[in-house]
Structure 1
């Protein structure tokens, strides 16, 4: 099929690798596999998958390092696979540039739902909510036609989720958005209570677009209320 999506599945456990591959292929995806982080980096570079499912605990190169390496040259959506209860792994994976996480063991339905949700976010990132082709806020520019972000004239590389978060804030210029509103808009209604994933993504986004991430001017926090992109004339 012409619009068939390719999924790279990376896991050193053959049992998980096989089960995930079967479930994805049954749902119509093309699947390629790798068994360590180094293979994952090479597969992304050579095969250009549409999404990556990346286990964190692997030999040769772990998933965290692989995620960081991939982010050096690609914004492909990445879902990390973590062990149950390992909150530190989830945060570390999101910090490394992952778009989402799924906790082992997981059902086929949960896996497929997460993959669909992340792919939808990546595609929605190119849907525009603005009347002008270029959105400007102080030294920040968003070229909607090319989904290109620059700060001070220099291009900034964002993941699909980071771009969608920035776009959502920009399209609500001057309006405070609650955590629940952002999570529902960017990640989907099933994520409305997952504030951790928002905090990590927002922190990562600020590191990329703010001159001083601790004193942001593009996306500011309204304590106890939500987040705001203030009108440019109000931005400090």
Structure 2
């Protein structure tokens, strides 16, 4: 499913998707996207940031409340702030305009492959409870000292993964691959930003973390002691 109000982009993406053997549907404004999404149930969404009505960031956030469908965001902006907002809203990948049709095709295939193999990934327990931190993996809820903490979808995914593997050290690249897949072409520095934001929300003192620890020169680990 493509969400973009530019005819030139629509024609390029439609050609790519049909050539790769996928069905294609599209919307050109934010108002009709959610209804079409619920009707068509697409396996992947290519979503432009700048749209009439509801913008792409807000649409991404709303879709994430209902589904984990892969989302690739398109934007004429390529700065780190714009990318960070997209990832925080739950996007799986981010491509600046103008883009290469071949690159878009590769990213679409990579995300679909990743989705198709998710059933093989180890499942988290329903609830992870470590000291004053409680993570409900089914409800996507996090509580600290009994108080509910608001996390973005990717923040929750990263925290859940680390908490489910306590004591194990992961590099930024390993964590990035876990969240976005090995075929995603983004800066692993995004992980550092996510770790900082999670610490600010769950730690008593984010400068002296007790849950997510830095292993200098290597990466991060979750402490359950």
Q: TM-score, normalised by structure 1?
A: 0.72
Residue 76 of structure 2 corresponds to residue 110 of structure 1: no
Structure 2 residue 52 is matched with structure 1 residue 59 = yes
Is 1:44 aligned to residue 37 of structure 2?
yes
What is the CA-CA distance between 1:122 and the residue it aligns to?
3.3
1:15-54 equivalent positions in 2, closer than 5 A: 15-54=8-47
- Among residues 83, 90, 96, which one is paired with 1:97 in the alignment? 90
SS of match in other structure, 2:47: strand
- Partner SS for 1:129: coil
For 2:159 and 2:210, locate their aligned partners in 1 and report how far apart those are by CA, in whole Å. 13
Matched, 1:136 2:128: yes
Tell me how many residue pairs correspond in the alignment. 219
Distance 1:151 1:186, change over 3 A: closer
Per-residue Cα deviation, 1:118-146 (whole angstroms, up to 9, x for no partner): 2333344432437x966734254576xxx
Change over 3 Å in CA distance of 1:93–1:129 after alignment to 2: closer
Deviation for aligned residue 1:165: 4.0
Q: CA deviation at 1:162?
A: 6.0
Query: Is the Cα–Cα contact under 8 Å of residues 38 and 66 in structure 1 kept in the other structure?
Result: no
The Cα RMSD (Å) is: 3.6
Deviation at 1:34, TM superposition (A): 0.5
CA contact (8 A) 1:141 1:151 kept: yes
2:115 to 119, 122, 127: 122
CA distances 1:76-122 after superposition (whole Å, capped 9, x unpaired): 22111012533332222222221210122222221122122223333
Tell me what 1:4 maps to: none
Question: What TM-score comes out, normalization by structure 2 length?
Answer: 0.75
Contact 1:125 1:164 in 2 (8 A): no
Structure 2 unmatched ranges of 5 or more: none
